[in-house]
Amino acid sequence: MNKRYLKWLNEDTLDEEILSALKSMSEEEIEDAFYKDLSFGTGGMRGIVGAGTNRMNIYTVRKAAYGYAKFLLEKYDHAASRGVVIAHDNRNKSSDFARECVSVLASFGIKCYLYDALRPTPQLSYSVRSLKAAGGIMVTASHNPPKYNGVKFYDDTGCQLVPDMADRVIEHFNSVTDIFSIEKIAIEDARSNNLVETLSKTMDDAYIRKVQSIQLNSELEKRIKVVFTPLHGASRDIGMRTLVESDYETHAVEEQMRVDPDFTTVESPNPENESAFELAKKVGRKQDADILIATDPDGDRLGVMAKHKGDYVFLTGNQTGAIFIHYLLSEREKRGTLPDDGIVYNTIVTSEFGAAIAKHYGMRVESTLTGFKFIGEKLLDLETTDTEFVMGYEESYGYVISDFVRDKDSIQALLMISEIANALAHENRTLIDYLESLYERFGHYRDHLMNIVLEGQQGEKMISQIMSHFRAYEPDKLLGRRLLVKEDYYHQSRLVEGSREDLNGYPVSNVLKFIFEDDMWFVLRPSGTEPKLKIYMNVLGKTKSDGEAVLEELKKIINSEIDSLQKEKGVKT
């Protein structure tokens, strides 16, 4: 029998709900719940809610909060009095986990600013900056399935912890020898000692006004109808208020305005999937709406569908990002306010489409590793330069336009995409018309994300074997295009035209990128927060059909390599 399991089972102070769950576990469930500790990934700590060291529960949350509290007190002067902002989404146990964080931080004398109900992640980031707090905690599992929850930790700039900071939290996290002995105090006692302050409407109002400041054509008559769904999540009130108070005729998907931790109206609460828009499309057709907008459960990602020729067309994150970049820069060009030294940040898995547009307008483009914290870190570096921030985005539907938020911000994004659609309506054009004109002008880029889900201990092992296989994979050509560069971010090395060199300027990360002639590349990256391997692809075709054909061939080649390896290992996905 697993020793960790027995220790939990025999703990006298164990929570009754956790004890009941332990007693009902099978041997296989015990092994998966206790074979390791939850680890920190690109978005903090995330896992399945349940009993065990490899699960999200009050004990693992307390352990994470303990590590974070120790880090804050070491990192910042006056961290206790500056305090920590804490918010949560709609998931199972989110409000409980938020309160557990308060109880642990308060035991260290750290003041907590606790939101009174659901709030989106970008508002958490804004609040940290606005209150000059020492940090922030967002309780969320983003767009993961309902069985997941998690916590994201922020520094005093409102940016998620970058690796060197997260490593220090992890050191303290790992120093806990008895997870059941972590000190905490009741929230009622923390309140009586002035260690808890509730945040509510005043901060909401300030955040919405700040979001509205990004508009370029706010006075333009509103001619569009917008459908909005938060997919049951944290942007429910803030997203709706932002649109309505900016004078857009907005229709909510009422079934998905409910706080539903099981997401019963949607197959997956992820606006990266077109299937998440099924109810929004029904409302859109009924209201004859021009655009459909969906945000994920913690309100940092935005998905968009646009009406075009009588139907709704789904936009990818790369396409939406390219639309944003062109609109922002072309509008500033009209006004004569293009920056002399402007920069757009994206990631190493973001399509070259938006970068081509930014460079056309004379902007610099810099790519970070995946994870918006790396873009947030760059924004801190900009503070001591004359370079002007234009926009930051990633293919996974995350955008930030103004850096009063140092994380991706669906509220900024939903307001800007509405403005663009409205401006186009005045020209009798749609977002799809606009997108097609960008392809014709800047190139027929196509991209694809392949997700290979491999759960549990065996799945983790298979992902490792796939990465090892591709570390040894060095084709001279694919689809007639020469391999120019192979980048290994784990071993910090680059293969350039057959010669090895160091890969500088990036943290160590288990990522591989293969770059070929004519803007074709693919990237392999195990997710830091989900049991899956992500494979990103980008191609540039001579025409739309050529780009799509090249992309399909690239998919076949990569799938063939992985299928052969899985057959060899006897693994099914």
CB 126 within 8 A of CB 402: no
HSE toward the beta carbon, residue 52, CA cutoff 13 A = 26
For tokens 């109880």, the residue is 103
Rg (CA), the chain: 24
CB 224 within 8 A of CB 421: yes
Strands lying side by side in the sheet with 398-400 = 364-368, 342-347, 388-394, 398-400
Given the residues 142, 351, 367, 509, select the one marked as catalytic.
142
> Is 142 one of the annotated active-site residues of the chain?
yes
To the nearest 10°, report the CA torsion of 550, 448, 506, 325: 100
CB 101 within 8 A of CB 150: no
535 forms beta bridges with 450, 524
Q: Of 339, 299, 303, nearest to 320 (Cα)?
A: 303
Contacts of 225 (CB under 8 A, 6+ apart): 248, 249, 250, 251, 287, 288, 289, 290
The two three-digit tokens of residue 87, written as one number: 């918010």
For tokens 């599992």, the residue is 141
Q: How far is CA 76 from CA 161, 426, 559, in A?
A: 14, 51, 48
Q: Residue 12, class by beta-carbon neighbours within 10 Å (0-12 exposed, 13-18 middle, 19+ buried)? A: exposed
Cα 424 from Cα 418, distance rounded (Å): 10
For tokens 């060899």, the residue is 568
Q: Of 235, 229, 273, 269, nearest to 250 (Cα)?
A: 229
H or E element at residue 72: helix 58-75
DSSP state of 548: H
* Residue at 293: amino acid letter: I
Q: Of 341, 378, 344, nearest to 358 (Cα)?
A: 344
Cα 211 from Cα 218, distance rounded (Å): 12
Angle at 320 between CA 315 and CA 326, to 5 degrees: 140
Cα 133 from Cα 154, distance rounded (Å): 10
Helices (H), 177-277: 187-192, 201-212, 236-245
Catalytic residues: 142
